[in-house]
Amino acid sequence: MKKKTETLLALLNGQPVIPVLKIDDLAQAVPLARALVNGGLPAIEITLRTPVALEALRAVSREVPEAIVSAGTILSGEDFNNAVAAGAKFIVSPGSTAELLDTADRSDVPFLPGAATPSEIMVLKARGYEILKFFPAEQSGGAPFVKALASPLAGVRFCPTGGISLKNAGDYLTLPNVICVGGSWVAPDADLKNGNWTRIEELAREAAGLRKG
């Protein structure tokens, strides 16, 4: 577990924002990933919310080697294994189940499970997890809630995701127990639809410039 934690820490600590992507058109995957990488956000999350998600993950892994592509919205052990087979460098889930945790234990690929309550965080901490996704962030109390967790749950760091934008990302990134945030604002639906990769690269560069700590 320690080795996987160190690997995940290195991946997430490299940038303040992890783009959370919902790809409906497979043709968008590679140019989108390239735009984000060029903008300074190589670590990206492709969510398994569409029929083409696994193919998108596979295409980015194959054609954009400089991208650190992860799979999100992983809900089962089967999802986990399929994403790893498609090339995911780490796995992200909105929560955790016994099946997911057992699958993660058997894999060398780091797992970022989600939690939204102290009890959920304590259970995962007892399993050896030191880095968690805090989801849904804004709806679960936002930055003040995450700040309140720092003292009683020392040693746990978070990647808050859900309802985060350029406007409020800084509220999280200033917290000592936040390593990065996840957000979809760097790839707006309209720009995706129109193939406006230059605009997405600009948004990525702006997000990459956010300061942590």
119-160 pLDDT, tens digit per residue, is 999 999 999 999 999 999 999 999 999 999 999 999 999 999
Q: Please tell me the pTM assigned to this model.
A: 0.96
pLDDT at 82 over 90: yes
Q: pLDDT band for 211, please (50, 70, 90 cuts).
A: confident
Which positions ≥6 away from 206 have C-beta within 8 Å?
Answer: 166
How many C-beta atoms lie closer than 10 Å to residue 136's C-beta? 17
The CA–CA distances, whole Å, from 41 to 93, 128, 136, 156, 197 equal: 20, 28, 22, 24, 14
Q: Which residues pair with 21 in a beta bridge?
A: 46
Three-class DSSP category at 34: helix
Residue 159 burial by CB count (10 A; 0-12/13-18/19+): exposed, middle or buried? Answer: buried
Beta-carbon contacts of 84 under 8 Å, excluding residues fewer than 6 positions away, are 71, 91, 107, 109
The CATH superfamily assigned to 2-204 is Aldolase class I (3.20.20.70)
pLDDT, residue 212, reads 79
Residues annotated as catalytic (active site), given as ranges = 45, 133
